[in-house]
Amino acid sequence: MNKKIIILNGSPHKQGNTSKLTASFRKGAEVSGNTVTEFHLDSMNINGCKGCFCGGKDFEFPCVQNDDMNKIYPIYREADVVVLASPLYYWNLSGQLRTAFDRLFAVAECNPDYSNPKKDAVLLMAAEGDEFDDVLLYYKNLMKHLDWTDLGYVLAGGVMMPNDIEGHKELEEAYKLGLSI
Ligand SMILES: Cc1cc2nc3c(=O)[nH]c(=O)nc-3n(C[C@H](O)[C@H](O)[C@H](O)COP(=O)(O)O)c2cc1C
């Protein structure tokens, strides 16, 4: 309740399965009185991290690159909860999401010890199959490394084309997860 939530949506489909999960989650989270901001990363101009270790240059826009991450940084800074939303691509998060996430390193660079701001997190995913083990291990390790808290995840398998998720129980699960925040 009364939390600020940022959704980083790494699907290229604005009406696809991942986006239907984020819409359900969002609905629940807003009913609970939270504020939600969603970014559709695929339609944004976000470059890969250059690995220059020159980030943290200023609090508001910490990266040396000047692109659409500058729309994300201020919202990310204020967010209590970060939602990672993605289709399963080669048993991992999509490149769009991984690319944006790498760029959050510039925020950690604001701290001399590169410590990340403390956040809670949620994982929402869709896939044709149901082999989520690898990405779930990655997500859980990421939480450990960043010292973030996992609030839960919804993994919708058996969905291929953008509308396949209609009527699937995971939409209700995503709604309830949003409601619980
Ligand atoms: C490049 C690519 C890689 C994919 N890799 C996997 C995979 O490893 N496992 C799987 O079950 N589905 C895989 N899929 C299928 C998508 O995860 C699935 O179609 C998903 O529902 C798409 O979600 P969206 O509608 O949000 O884009 C892949 C699809 C693409 C385009």
**Which of 128, 130, 166 has the most ligand 1 atoms within 8 A of CB, as the residue to mutate?**
128
Residue 59 is predicted with a pLDDT of 84
Q: What confidence score (pLDDT) does residue 58 get?
A: 86
pTM, to two decimals: 0.98
Q: What is the pLDDT, as a whole number, of residue 106?
A: 97
Would you call 173 helix, strand, or coil by DSSP? helix
Ligand 1 site, residue 15, Cβ cutoff 6 A: no
Q: Nearest C-alpha to atom 3 of ligand 1 is from which residue?
A: 89
> How far apart are alpha carbons 175 and 181 in whole angstroms?
10
pLDDT band for 147, please (50, 70, 90 cuts). Answer: very high
Tell me if 114 CB under 6 Å of ligand 1: no
User: Per-residue pLDDT tens for 70-127?
Assistant: 999 999 999 999 999 999 999 999 999 999 999 999 999 999 899 999 999 999 999 9
Topology given in CATH for the domain delimited by 4-179:
Rossmann fold (3.40.50)
| Ligand 1 pocket residue status of 160, Cβ below 6 Å | yes
What is the model's pLDDT at position 57?
A: 84
Task: Give the list of residues 6+ apart from residue 3 with CB closer than 8 angstroms, or none.
Answer: 29, 34, 35, 80, 81, 181
Q: Taking residues 169-174, report their average pLDDT.
A: 98
Domain ranges of the chain: 4-179
Rounded to the nearest whole angstrom, what is the distance from the C-alpha of residue 133 to the centroid of ligand 1? 15
Q: What is the C-alpha to C-alpha distance for residues 175 and 159, in angstroms, rounded to an integer?
A: 18
Q: Using a 6 Å cutoff on CB, does residue 178 contact ligand 1?
A: no
Task: Read off the pLDDT of residues 58-72 as tens digits, 9 standing for 90 and up.
Answer: 888 999 999 999 999
Task: Decide if pLDDT at 13 tops 90.
Answer: yes
Atom of ligand 1 nearest to the CA of 159: 21
